[in-house]
């Protein structure tokens, strides 16, 4: 696998993990805010409005984080697909290289045999 692809994947994986962790944390905060609101723990008036606003802000941040996470997951998938294509191509090239090496060996063996035959003919001609 090309080093550039490895570095890209290595760079993206910690970011994805951090985003997932942050997303879960935000989801828990939203749930707690909703539970407080539902349980009547939130005071009425401005405090309730602040909680609602905070909940909306957290929900928006959560959605944004999910979008980023999906984008990074797509990037990782693209890198993995490119890596797989490169491995497939490399496998084909290596197989072709093996075939060509076998061909070269066979041709060298034939050339060696031809040279031996020519050498024997030349020796026979000299004896006559």
Taking Cα atoms as reference points, which of 16, 24, 33, 35 lies closest to residue 61?
A: 24
- Answer yes or no: is pLDDT of 43 > 70: no
Query: Which of the two residues, 118 and 35, has the higher pLDDT score?
Result: 118
Q: Give residue 49's pLDDT.
A: 65
d(CA 33, CA 36) in angstroms, rounded, equals 5
- Answer yes or no: is pLDDT of 42 > 50: no
- Answer yes or no: is pLDDT of 19 > 60: yes
- Answer yes or no: is pLDDT of 16 > 60: yes
Mean of the per-residue pLDDT values of the chain? 85
Give the predicted TM-score (pTM) of the model: 0.45
Exposed/middle/buried for 26, CB within 10 Å: 0-12, 13-18, 19+? buried
Per-residue pLDDT tens digits for 81-110: 999 999 999 999 999 999 999 999 999 999
Q: Give residue 112's pLDDT.
A: 95
Over residues 9-15, the mean pLDDT reads 79
């Amino acid at each position: 696998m090309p080093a550039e692809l490895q570095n890209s994947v290595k760079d993206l994986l910690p970011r994805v993990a951090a985003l997932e962790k942050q997303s879960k944390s935000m989801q828990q905060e939203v749930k707690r805010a909703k539970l407080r609101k539902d349980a009547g723990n939130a005071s009425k008036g401005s405090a309730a409005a602040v909680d609602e606003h905070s909940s909306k802000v957290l929900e928006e941040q959560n959605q944004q984080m999910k979008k980023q996470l999906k984008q990074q997951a797509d990037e990782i998938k693209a890198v993995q697909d490119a890596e797989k294509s490169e491995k497939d191509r490399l496998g084909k090239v290596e197989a072709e290289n093996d075939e060509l090496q076998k061909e070269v060996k066979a041709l060298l063996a034939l050339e060696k045999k031809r040279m031996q035959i020519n050498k024997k003919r030349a020796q026979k001609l000299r004896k006559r």
